[in-house]
Chain A
Amino acid sequence: MNIIYLLAPLALLLGLFFATGFVTAVLKGQFDDTDTPPQKMLLDDEPVTDDLILKGKHRD
C-alpha cells in the first residue's frame, strides 16, 4: 500500500503540468476565438479558379 505515497503525488504532478499548460494557453489568448481557426485551417490552400464560371455562362 506504500506505493500510493509515490503514485498519488506523481498523478497530481502530471495533472498540475496539464492544468498549468491550459492556464498558460488561455492567458496567452489561444482560446479567445475557437470558432474561426477550425474553418480557416480548411481554406489555406491556394484558390482554385473555376473556369466554368469565369468563362461565363453568364449572359445579359
Chain B
Amino acid sequence: MRQIQIPLEPIPTREAARCRHCGLSLPSGLQSEFCCRGCESVFEILNSGGLTTYYKLRNENPPTCAIPASVSDESFSYCDDPEVLKRFATGDDVIHFFVEGLNCSACLWLIRRLPQICDDIVQADVNFANSQVRIVRKPGGSFARAASALNRIGYRPRLVESEEKDQLLVSRRRLELARIGVAAFCTGNIMIFAVSLYAGAGGRLAFQFAWISAILALPVLTFCAWPFYRSAASSIRHARLNIDVPIVAALVAGVAMSVYELFTREEPSVYFDSLSLLTFLLLSSRFWLASIQRKYLDSHRLADFLLIGSVQRIKGLTIESVSNLSVRVGDRLIIDGGHIIPVDGRVVAGTAWIQSAALTGEFASTGTRIGDRVYAGTSCLNGRIEIVVEAEALHSRLATLLQDAEAAAATKPSLVRFSDRVGAWFVGTVFTLAAGVSLAFLTTAPAEGFSRALALIIVTCPCVFGMAIPLSLSLAVRAAAANGIVIKTGDVVERLASIRTLYFDKTGTLTSARAAVLNFETQIHPATCLAIVTTLEADQDHPVAHALRAYARLHGPAADARLAATSVSRRANGGLEGWIDGRHYSIVPLGASVAPDSSSAGRLSADYGIYENDAMIGRFQIGDEIRADAAGVLGRLAERGYDVNVLSGDRASVVEIVGQHLGLAKPQIYGDASPEEKARRLAQSPGSMMIGDGANDAAALASASVGVAIRGSMDVSMKAADVYLLHGSLSAIEDLLTIARDTRFAIRRNLAFSAAFNVTAGALALGGHMHPLWAAVLMPLSSLTVLGSALLTGRSLSRIGGHK
C-alpha cells in the first residue's frame, strides 16, 4: 500500500498552557494561545477596544469569572421590536439584561466601558445583587447592537423586565428593610429596660420602665409586625392555616397579658422584649433569605427570556425580522441553519437537519420533510426551511413543559417555613404554659405564679428557629457559591442532605454535547489518514466534519493538512467520496444498529469506515465526548454509598455504551426515557437528585427532590433546578453533597442542644427553681451557643473544595 508522503512535525509540548482569555488549560499540541475561536474573538475585541486591563484586574488563573465566550451570531434584532420594548424598556432609552457570569470587579470594569466598543450605548451599569446589566442608549441608538456587543465579549444578554419598572416591588422591599431597622432600634432599647427589670428594679421605676417598654414596643407590634397580621388575616379569610397565624396568636396573647399587667399592677411583668425580639428575628431572617433568592432570579422571568428571540417572517414578497412575540398562528417563517426554532409549526418548504436535544435529549439530528412538525426550542443545524406557525411561543410544547416544571417546583416543602412554623408553635406553647402557671397560682400565691411565668418566658429561646437555622443555611449557600455552586434557596440544603440516589442525564451532563471523535484507528499512517479524511470533509458544514477537523487540529499540522482533492461529493447514505492523488477515497457510515433509520451522519457514536479503492484502511467513531472528570466523580460518589444512575432520552444502546464506559452496571442505566418518563421516575423515588442539562430535563429537575443544572445548560433547566453549577465541573456535585451533609449535622446538633436546654430550663422555671434574673442571663448564653456553633460549621464549610 503506497502512502502519501507528508512530513511529520514533532508535536510541541507546553507545560500547563492556558487559554489567554478563559484560562482553561489547553490540550497539548494546540497551535494557539486560545482554547477556542470564541475566546480568541473576545480577546481581539477587547484588544482593539483598548480594554485588555480586564485581564489584569480579574483574579488569578483560572479566573473565577471565566467569561464563557460565545461564537453564536445570535440575532438580537428583537430588542428593537416595539412590541418587546413596550414590555421591557424603562422609559425610552433604558433596558435591562440578565447576564450570567457577573462575578468580579473585572466584569464590572469591563461592562462599564461598553460604550468604548459600542456607539449605541451612553452608559452601561452592573447590579450584582440581581445579576443585571442596565443599558442606556443614545437617542435613536439600537438596543440590538448593544445586546450583540455584550454577547460578543462573552456576556450573553437576556432581556428581563426591570425592577425599575415595578416601582411597587422596589418600595415594598425598601419598606421591609425599614421595618427591620425600626424593630432593631426598638428591640434593642426595650432590652436595656428589660434587663434592669429582671435585675430587680422595683417600685416606681418598674412601673415607668414597663410603660417605656410598652411605648417602644408599639411601633414594633404595629408597623413592623404588619406583614404577619396581613398574611394571617388573608389565611383566615381563605380558611387555609399558614405560618403567620400562630405567630400572630403568640403576639396577641403576649400583648394581652402585658397590657393586663400594665393596668392592674404596680410592678407589672411585661413581655414586650420577647415579642419585639421575635418580630425582629423573623423579619430579618425572611429578608435575608429573600435577598439570596432574588440574586438568582425568580422563576417567571426566566420563562420570559427563554422564549424571546428574533424570527424572519414572510410578509408578502419580502422578509421582515420581528420578535417572536409578534408572531401569530398562520404566519410563515423562514428558519435558517444555526437558529433555534421559536414556535411550534409545520414545514411547508425546504429541508433541514433538526436537533431536538433541547426537547428530547437526543443529540442526533434528523432530516425534515415537507409536512413534518417542528417544535419550539429545537435547533435547525443547517439547511433552510419555511414553516407555518401552529402554536405561538408562549403556547408551544416547550412552554407547556415549563409550566409543568413550575407547578412541580411550587409544591416543594421548605425547611425555613418549617422552622418558622415550629418557632411560632414554640412561642405559643411557652405562652400557654406561662398563662397556665399564673392561673394555677392566682388564688394561692399570685406573685409566685407570675415570677415562674416570667422566668419561663425569658429563659426559653426560639433563637435556634429564628436565627440559627437560617444562618446555617445561608452559610452553606455561601460556601457553595465560593465553589461555583449556586443554590437557589436555603431549604435546598436540607433536602440535599437526605439524597441517596443520583440520576445523571447523559447529553450535556456526562458528555459535552458536542460531536467529537471517540476513536480513530487506521492501518496506514495516522496523520496521513487524518489528512485524507479532513480533506474530504473540509467543505462540509456538518457536526461530523467539525468534529473531525477539531480532532485533526489536535494532532498537529500534518494531520490537519489540506490535500488536493477532486470531485468530492456527498453520498445518498450520508457518506462522502472523492479523489485524492489519483485514488478514490470514501467515508461510509457503519454500525446501522446504532443509527438505524437514517442517512444521518450526526448520530451519536456512529461508526464510519474509511475506504481506499473499496479496501478499508481505517475507521473512526463519532460521538458526543464524555467529560474527562465523569468517571472519577461517579466512582467516588458510588464509593460514598450513593446509588448512581444514568437517565437519558437518547437511544438505549448509546446510553449503555456511555454508562458502561463510566463503570456503571446495566441496571443503573436507563435509556429511551421521554421527558414525562424521567419526571415520573424521579417523582417516584424519594431522596433522588437529578443532574441534568437541557429543556428536556426541566420536568425531571423539578420532580426530583433536588434538581441540579449544569452550566451551559439551557435557561430552562436553571428555572426548574434548585442548584446550578457555574463551572460545569462534575466534581462540584461531591462538594455540594459534602456541604449539605455537614450543614444538616450542624443544624441537628443545634436543634438537639436547643431542645435539651429549653426543656430543662423550662422545667426548672415552671417548678419555681429559677429566678427571672438567672433566666435573663442564661437565655443569651444559649443563643450565643447555637449561633457560635452555626458559625463554626460555616467556617469549616468554606474550606471544602479547596479550589480557591
Measured CB to CB, the closest approach of chain A to B213, in angstroms, equals 12
Q: In the complex, what residues of B have CB within 8 A of residue A19's CB?
A: 181-182, 185
Prevailing SS type, chain B contact patch: helix
Which B139-195 residues sit within 8 Å CB-CB of chain A?
170, 173-175, 177-178, 181-182, 185, 188-189, 192
B234 within 8 A of A: no
In contact, A39 and B108 (Cβ under 8 angstroms): yes
Binds A, one of B125-133, B381-389, B442-450, B484-492: B125-133
Closest to A59 in B: B33
- Given A32-B170, A58-B43, decide whether A12 and B189 contact each other with a Cβ distance below 8 A: yes
Closest to B104 in A: A39
In contact, A29 and B53 (Cβ under 8 angstroms): no
B212 within 8 A of A: yes
Closest to B51 in A: A47
- Complex CA gap A39/B189 in Å reads 35
Measured CB to CB, the closest approach of chain A to B435, in angstroms, equals 31
Q: In the complex, what residues of B have CB within 8 A of residue A33's CB?
A: 127-129
In contact, A34 and B129 (Cβ under 8 angstroms): yes
In contact, B174 and A36 (Cβ under 8 angstroms): no
Question: Chain A 1-21, CB within 8 Å of chain B: the 1/0 string?
Answer: 100100010011001101100
Measured CB to CB, the closest approach of chain B to A52, in angstroms, equals 9
B109 within 8 A of A: yes
Closest to B34 in A: A58
Q: In the complex, what residues of A have CB within 8 A of residue B182's CB?
A: 19, 23
B429 within 8 A of A: no
In contact, B129 and A35 (Cβ under 8 angstroms): yes
- Complex CA gap A54/B48 in Å reads 8
User: Out of B56, B128, B181, B185, which one reaches A50, CB within 8 Å?
Assistant: B56
User: Out of A27, A47, A50, which one reaches B174, CB within 8 Å?
Assistant: A27
Q: In the complex, what residues of B have CB within 8 A of residue A47's CB?
A: 50-51, 53, 109, 113
Q: In the complex, what residues of B have CB within 8 A of residue A4's CB?
A: 205
Max count, chain A CB within 10 A of own CB: residue among B55, B105, B175: B105
In contact, B181 and A43 (Cβ under 8 angstroms): no
- Given A26-B177, A56-B47, decide whether A39 and B185 contact each other with a Cβ distance below 8 A: no
Question: Chain B 273-304, CB within 8 Å of chain A: the 1/0 string?
Answer: 00000000000000000000000000000000
- How many chain-B residues does the 8 Å CB contact rule pick out? 36
Measured CB to CB, the closest approach of chain A to B106, in angstroms, equals 9
Closest to B173 in A: A32
In contact, B129 and A36 (Cβ under 8 angstroms): yes
Closest to B186 in A: A19
- Complex CA gap A59/B112 in Å reads 29
Measured CB to CB, the closest approach of chain A to B187, in angstroms, equals 11
Q: In the complex, what residues of A have CB within 8 A of residue B57's CB?
A: 43
Q: In the complex, what residues of B have CB within 8 A of residue A29's CB?
A: 170, 174
In contact, B108 and A43 (Cβ under 8 angstroms): yes
Closest to A29 in B: B174
Q: In the complex, what residues of B have CB within 8 A of residue A32's CB?
A: 129, 170, 173-174
Q: In the complex, what residues of A have CB within 8 A of residue B205's CB?
A: 1, 4
Q: In the complex, what residues of A have CB within 8 A of residue B189's CB?
A: 11-12, 15
- Given A15-B185, A18-B185, A39-B108, decide whether A49 and B50 contact each other with a Cβ distance below 8 A: yes
Measured CB to CB, the closest approach of chain B to A51, in angstroms, equals 10
Q: In the complex, what residues of B have CB within 8 A of residue A34's CB?
A: 129
- Complex CA gap A50/B59 in Å reads 16
- Complex CA gap A47/B43 in Å reads 17
B584 within 8 A of A: no
In contact, A54 and B47 (Cβ under 8 angstroms): yes
- Complex CA gap A19/B224 in Å reads 13
Which B21-67 residues sit within 8 Å CB-CB of chain A?
33, 43, 47, 50-53, 55-57
Q: In the complex, what residues of A have CB within 8 A of residue B108's CB?
A: 36, 39-40, 43
In contact, B47 and A53 (Cβ under 8 angstroms): yes
In contact, B50 and A54 (Cβ under 8 angstroms): yes
Known: A11-B192, A29-B170, A50-B53. 10 other contacts (CB 8 A): A1-B205, A4-B205, A23-B181, A35-B127, A36-B127, A39-B108, A39-B128, A43-B112, A47-B51, A49-B53
- Contact surface of A with B, Cβ cutoff 8 Å: 1, 4, 8, 11-12, 15-16, 18-19, 22-23, 26-27, 29, 31-36, 39-40, 42-43, 47-50, 53-54, 56, 58-59
12 A-B residue pairs with Cβ-Cβ distance under 8 Å, sorted by A, are A1-B205, A4-B205, A15-B188, A23-B182, A26-B178, A31-B177, A39-B104, A39-B128, A43-B105, A49-B52, A50-B53, A54-B47
